[in-house]
Structure 1
Amino acid sequence: MKDKSITLIIYGRGGHKEQMKRLLSLMKSHADFDFISISDTEDHFDSLKHFRCSEPRDKFSVWKAPFQLTNNAITTLMQCVSILKNFKVQGLVSTGPGMVVFPALIFKLLGKKVIFLESWSRFYTPSLTGRIMYHIADTFYIQNETLQSAYPKAVFAGRL
């Protein structure tokens, strides 16, 4: 698998998954490409290889947060090592959620391209993941023009 370049996609459940579904549909219509994925759900897109990962925070319990963050960091570190060992990754594309932060940092430090799409449900306030990924991503897309003031260097791409 090391001879062909692939893309790593990272998405979460719900709206993040639906946005990735639409993005992959657009990408596949323009080019033939292979990808692997990391998600907090089962593989929905026939990835070459799929890794499961939990969210790095619990939105409903502040007490679980340090444990989940530690678990997420260790899990994604091991997944990234496995991915880099077995695949020739050209870059990472994500529609969120927070589980993308650690892999994005790792791939960015290794000189890989990182692309992030802020959620289409954000109109006026940035998401926590978006605020972090804005400083990590090589290309940061917003889907609502009203977010341009929050992300001045972002690329407005319209809705997926």
Structure 2
Amino acid sequence: MAAPYLLYIFVTLFALILVLFTRLLVVLLSLGKQSKCTNHNGKIKVLVIAGSGGHTSEVIRLLSGLSDSYAPRIYVVADTDKMSHEKIKKFEDSKKNIESRSKSVSESYIIHSIPRSREVRQSYITSVFSTLYSTLYAFPLVFKVAPDLILCNGPGTCIPLCFAGFIMRILGLKKVIQVYVESICRVQHLSLSGKLMYHFADHIIVQWESLQKIYPKSKYLGKIC
């Protein structure tokens, strides 16, 4: 029984990886050297990863403290997360009204949806496959957008997106800076996403001084969201 099951897993993983690299090849051929270009007019193109369970509310509070230099803002949400989509639209509409911008909101931000990496209470075994499926969409999106900065705060969807940004740097296409802000509810240890991001993010921000002592690579800046 074990052999056919393992063969099924191997074939599935191989097929997913093959499709992923095919999609990446198409994106890379269309990009050429375009990804190496820096953003114009001193702007910082930021890719913001939103998520359910309070992640979107926290990341919006982070964005509210950023200047207009962080634009355009490219949001990525899970395709089943309708609430985050609405929260983002509400935030951007209020931001436009407060700052009395003359341009339309659609010019300052855009929202992309990709499959969710891991549903709430989904088993870790099945989440491996859902994460791989999400990666098929995450890599081409990040390579095409070529952001200057990736900002995230914990949703599982951030892992394939941030890993794509890391690969862009490894390939020499673009140095994508990645900032991971751990949720304020994490007091004693990092979340699973935080533990993974700890190894390749440029900046890991924690909101409890005791947590910074456990993870010395992280930075404590106080309560920021």
Q: With the length of structure 1 as denominator, give the TM-score of the two structures.
A: 0.84
Q: Structure 1 residues 61 and 137 mapped into 2: Cα distance closer, same or farther (>3 Å)?
A: closer
2:117 aligned with 1:56: yes
Paired residues of 1:58 and 1:64 also in contact (CA < 8 A): no
Equivalent position of 2:27 in the other structure: none
Q: Which runs of 5+ in 2 are unaligned?
A: 1-36, 93-107, 170-174
For residues 5-154 of structure 1, the aligned pairs below 5 Å read 5-28=44-67, 31-34=68-71, 35-40=73-78, 41=81, 42=85, 44=88, 45-46=91-92, 48-62=109-123, 64-84=126-146, 89-109=147-167, 110=169, 111-154=175-218
In 2, Cα distance between equivalents of 1:149 and 1:83:
36
Paired residues of 2:143 and 2:165 also in contact (CA < 8 A): no
Q: Which runs of 5+ in 1 are unaligned?
A: none
* Structure with the higher fraction of residues in strand conformation: 1
- Larger-gyration structure (1/2): 2
* Aligned AA (1:137): A
Q: With the length of structure 2 as denominator, give the TM-score of the two structures.
A: 0.61
| Shift in Å, 1:149 | 2.8
| Shift in Å, 1:23 | 0.3
CA-atom RMSD in angstroms: 2.1
Q: Structure 1 residues 56 and 150 mapped into 2: Cα distance closer, same or farther (>3 Å)?
A: farther
In 1, Cα distance between equivalents of 2:116 and 2:134:
7
Count of residue pairs brought into register by the alignment: 153
| Shift in Å, 1:53 | 2.5
